[in-house]
């Protein structure tokens, strides 16, 4: 496809607020001028929003005010008029019950803030996990020219001479303490070593994955994803993105021009190549739903299946985002996909050029960080989508983070009815469990938790860990942190709280996991399964009121992106009714 820029100059959307001499135009301009803004800023130039998820309660985004200033420089230079505004910031490490419960709420905030104000285009300043999809979803539903700038990852963590990855080592150290291999004092000392600079998680967790997805989709300038938060080139990226959005408005280059089916296929393949987070599955399905692209869970398997994971980053590999940047970053990976015939090269990006034009000259500066295909971490790196009587609508597993010997496994189920049941019993030495068992966790899906928390990689029982075992098959309707690892079946759909077959698994049932054949099977007869489902009654807590109730009543399954039923689709930028 090719993009045809619109004619310029033309009357912009912002002129409805600022471009005239009526009482209302004066009203809109006059109040804005209390900020000390000169007259000529209202002369019909593009008005650009800087949609900022800065918050001290989202530590990964706490440096975004500085970046916003850099964006403003770029906007002014290019002849635009920048206006920064805050939106709900969903901080992964602090927000309870889980940041995911507020992704859709934040997307509504973004959507209405964009539509209701005199903006012609917007820069989306994001970083921490859910901030990226929530802003992309909101912007996609309005379809004004939009560009993503991420805050960038933290510098490498170091502890006792070793690289320490955000999240990944939190899980590792926690298990090591339980196994008696690390003292509690050492664990406490590692706390500060893990997070030693501004920025988002430095592993290929959900934040880095979603930054990579934004770039692979064409919604960020090439090279954006990996630049560390504190590197001066991150500021340059913000500055250039500010310049670029002004031209995007002049060209009328919108998300609907960029977020095409081809772009989503590119992103799915990129996710396989980087060993990205399973959370990307849910977020991309939700974003696609906002622009009306028919993307399915099966597409993740179809397009990702044969993509080797070549980015050697934790949690699947060894290095961290800082080293990925020095090695050349995401453009090298996308170029590799193009050379392998796995890229829709003509997909348009925010640069107004094709994705191939953006990456064709990229070079790999470290072949131990971005591996040659023959040394890939796994040859089939995409997200495996499993189906069977235990997951009629699908479940996902990340092969690059799993143990190869467990990818085909049959085991006795040990069932936890919910996360509290798990916490109450997992450390009990009397629990009848060993490493051949399959741990099953229910009621942690979108409705069950609510919000679908990242507890799918539930820790192993201490008595198993003490044998030196580090992985077991785990199945749930929960999500897993992108920084986590293990042979973990996630997003089992329909979820237990919605009456999916997961709800009726009993301790002692045999389960077969067969990842090469994409199968997840509960070994009971069809009749038994039907009878159990007939007898099932919900046991999860249903919130009485408030946003939690809205969430419970309207959230859709993980297999379609866990968006609200009433938010699907693009509603455009026209304001339904003028209030003045």
Catalog residues that contact ligand FES under the rule CB under 6 A: 60, 92-93, 128-129, 166, 200-201, 205, 207
Nearer to ligand FES, 480 or 524 (CB): 480
Residue 186, token pair as written in the block: 């050492």
CB of 371 to ligand FES, least distance (A): 24
Nearer to ligand FES, 153 or 461 (CB): 153
Query: Do β-strands 488-493 and 391-397 pair in parallel, antiparallel, or remain unpaired?
Result: antiparallel
CB of 487 to ligand FES, least distance (A): 23
Contacts of 34 (CB under 8 A, 6+ apart): none
CB of 446 to ligand FES, least distance (A): 20
- How far is CA 486 from each of CA 188, 203, 404, 511, rounded to the nearest angstrom? 24, 15, 10, 18
Nearer to ligand FES, 145 or 205 (CB): 205
Alpha-carbon span 482 to 92, nearest angstrom: 11
Tokens 């079946």 -> residue: 489
CB of 445 to ligand FES, least distance (A): 21
Contact between residue 407 and residue 516 where contact means Cβ atoms under 8 Å apart: yes
- DSSP annotation of 177 reads H
- DSSP annotation of 370 reads B
**Length of the chain (residues):** 580
CB of 196 to ligand FES, least distance (A): 14
CB of 197 to ligand FES, least distance (A): 13
CB of 152 to ligand FES, least distance (A): 11
CB of 208 to ligand FES, least distance (A): 8
Contacts of 149 (CB under 8 A, 6+ apart): 67, 71, 123, 124, 125, 126, 220, 224, 237, 238, 241
Nearer to ligand FES, 128 or 295 (CB): 128
Nearer to ligand FES, 140 or 201 (CB): 201
- Classify each residue of 56-85 as buried b or exposed e, where b means 16 or more C-beta atoms within 10 Å of its C-beta: eebbbbbbbeebbbbbbebbbebebbbbbe
In angstroms, how far is CA 229 from the centroid of its own chain?
A: 18
Alpha-carbon span 441 to 491, nearest angstrom: 11
DSSP string, 491-538: EEES-GGGT-GGGG--TT-EEEEETTTTEEEE-S-HHHHHHHHHH---
Nearer to ligand FES, 191 or 339 (CB): 191
Nearer to ligand FES, 89 or 400 (CB): 89
Alpha-carbon span 130 to 135, nearest angstrom: 9
CB of 165 to ligand FES, least distance (A): 11
Helix, strand, or coil (residue 193): helix
Nearer to ligand FES, 165 or 459 (CB): 165
Nearer to ligand FES, 84 or 92 (CB): 92
């Amino acid at each position: 496809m090719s993009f045809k820029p619109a004619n310029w100059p033309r009357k912009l959307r912002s002129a409805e607020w600022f471009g005239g001499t009526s009482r209302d135009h004066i009203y809109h301009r006059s109040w804005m001028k209390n900020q000390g803004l000169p007259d000529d800023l209202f002369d019909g130039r593009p008005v650009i929003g800087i949609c900022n998820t800065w918050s001290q309660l989202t530590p990964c985004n706490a440096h975004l005010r500085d970046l916003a200033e850099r964006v403003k420089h770029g906007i002014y230079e290019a002849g635009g008029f920048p206006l920064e505004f805050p939106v709900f910031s969903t901080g992964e490490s602090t927000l309870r019950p889980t940041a995911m419960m507020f992704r859709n709420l934040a997307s509504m905030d973004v959507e209405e803030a964009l539509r209701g104000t005199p903006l012609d285009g917007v820069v989306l300043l994001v970083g921490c996990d859910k901030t990226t999809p929530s802003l992309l979803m909101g912007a996609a539903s309005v379809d004004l020219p939009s560009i993503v700038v991420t805050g960038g990852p933290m510098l490498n963590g170091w502890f006792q001479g070793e690289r320490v990855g955000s999240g990944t080592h939190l899980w590792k150290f926690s298990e090591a303490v339980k196994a008696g291999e690390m003292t509690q004092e050492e664990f406490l000392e590692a706390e500060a070593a893990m997070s030693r600079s501004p920025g988002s998680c430095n592993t290929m967790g959900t934040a880095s994955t979603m930054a990579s997805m934004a770039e692979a989709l064409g919604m960020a300038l090439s090279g954006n994803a990996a630049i560390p938060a504190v590197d001066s080139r991150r500021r340059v990226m913000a500055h250039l993105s500010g310049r670029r959005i002004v031209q995007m408005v002049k060209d009328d280059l919108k998300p609907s021009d960029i977020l095409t089916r081809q772009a989503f296929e590119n992103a799915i393949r990129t996710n396989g190549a980087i060993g990205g987070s399973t959370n990307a599955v849910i977020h991309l399905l939700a974003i696609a739903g906002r622009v009306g692209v028919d993307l399915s869970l099966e597409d993740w398997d179809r397009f990702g299946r044969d993509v080797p994971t070549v980015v050697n980053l934790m949690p699947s590999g060894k290095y961290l985002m800082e080293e990925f940047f020095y090695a050349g970053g995401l453009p090298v990976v996308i170029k590799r996909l193009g050379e392998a015939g796995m890229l829709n090269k003509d997909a348009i990006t925010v640069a107004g050029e094709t994705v191939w034009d953006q990456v064709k000259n990229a070079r790999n500066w470290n072949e131990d960080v971005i591996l040659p295909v023959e040394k890939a971490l796994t040859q089939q790196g995409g997200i495996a989508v499993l189906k069977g009587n235990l997951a009629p609508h699908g479940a996902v597993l990340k092969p690059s983070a799993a143990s190869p010997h467990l990818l085909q496994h049959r085991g006795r189920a040990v069932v936890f009815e919910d996360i509290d049941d798990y916490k109450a019993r997992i450390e009990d030495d009397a629990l009848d469990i060993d490493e051949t068992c399959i741990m099953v966790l229910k009621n942690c899906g979108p409705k069950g938790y609510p919000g679908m928390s990242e507890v799918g990689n539930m820790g192993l029982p201490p008595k198993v860990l003490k044998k030196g075992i580090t992985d077991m098959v785990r199945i749930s309707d929960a999500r897993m942190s992108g920084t986590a690892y293990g042979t973990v079946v996630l997003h089992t759909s329909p979820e237990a709280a919605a009456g999916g077959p997961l709800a009726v698994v009993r301790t002692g049932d045999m389960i077969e996991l067969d990842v090469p054949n994409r199968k997840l099977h509960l070994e009971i007869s069809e009749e038994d399964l039907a009878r159990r489902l007939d007898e099932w009654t919900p046991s999860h807590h249903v919130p009485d009121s408030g946003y939690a109730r809205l969430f419970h009543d309207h959230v859709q399954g993980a297999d379609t992106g866990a968006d609200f039923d009433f938010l699907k689709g693009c509603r455009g930028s026209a304001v339904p009714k003028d209030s003045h």
